[in-house]
Amino acid sequence: MYASRHRIRIAALAALIAAFAVGRADTASAQRESGIQLSPQSNRYFISKDVGNERWAITYNLDDKTVTGNVFPISGGAPTFLTCDITRVEQAPNPADAQYFLSCRASGPCAAAPCDPNQWGAASETGPIPGSFLLPAETKATLAGNVQPIYNQSCATSAICHANGANYVVLANGVSWANTFLVEADGPNGPQGFFVDPFLPESSFLFRKVNGTQGPGGGQRMPYNGDPLPADEIELIRSWIAEGAANN
127 pLDDT more than 80: yes
Q: Give buried/exposed letters for 198-216 (b at 16+ CB in 10 A, else e).
A: beebeebbbbbbbbeebee
88 occurs within a structural domain: yes
Looking at 134, 165, 184, which one is the last position of a domain?
Answer: 134
247 occurs within a structural domain: no
Domain range for 164? 143-242
Taken in order 39, 45, 51, 55, is the CA torsion positive or negative?
negative
Looking at 102, 134, 166, which one is the last position of a domain?
Answer: 134
Q: Collapse the DSSP code of 148 into the 3-class scheme (helix H, G, I; strand E, B; otherwise coil) and give the result.
A: helix
Question: Rounded to whole angstroms, how far apart are CA atoms 113 and 125?
Answer: 29
Whether a cis peptide bond, with omega within 30° of 0, leads into 223 is yes
Looking at 134, 163, 187, which one is the last position of a domain?
Answer: 134
Q: What is the pLDDT of residue 15?
A: 56
Q: For 134-145, write each residue's pLDDT tens digit.
A: 999 999 999 999
Indicate whether 35 and 68 sit together in one domain: yes
Q: Are 92 and 72 in contact (CB under 8 A)?
A: no
Q: For 164-181, write each residue's pLDDT tens digit.
A: 877 789 999 999 999 999
Q: For 70-115, write each residue's pLDDT tens digit.
A: 999 888 889 999 999 999 999 999 999 999 999 999 999 998 999 9
For the chain, what is the domain count?
A: 2
248 occurs within a structural domain: no
Indicate whether 124 and 158 sit together in one domain: no
Indicate whether 100 and 177 sit together in one domain: no
234-245 average pLDDT score: 98
pTM confidence score: 0.88
Indicate whether 70 and 107 sit together in one domain: yes
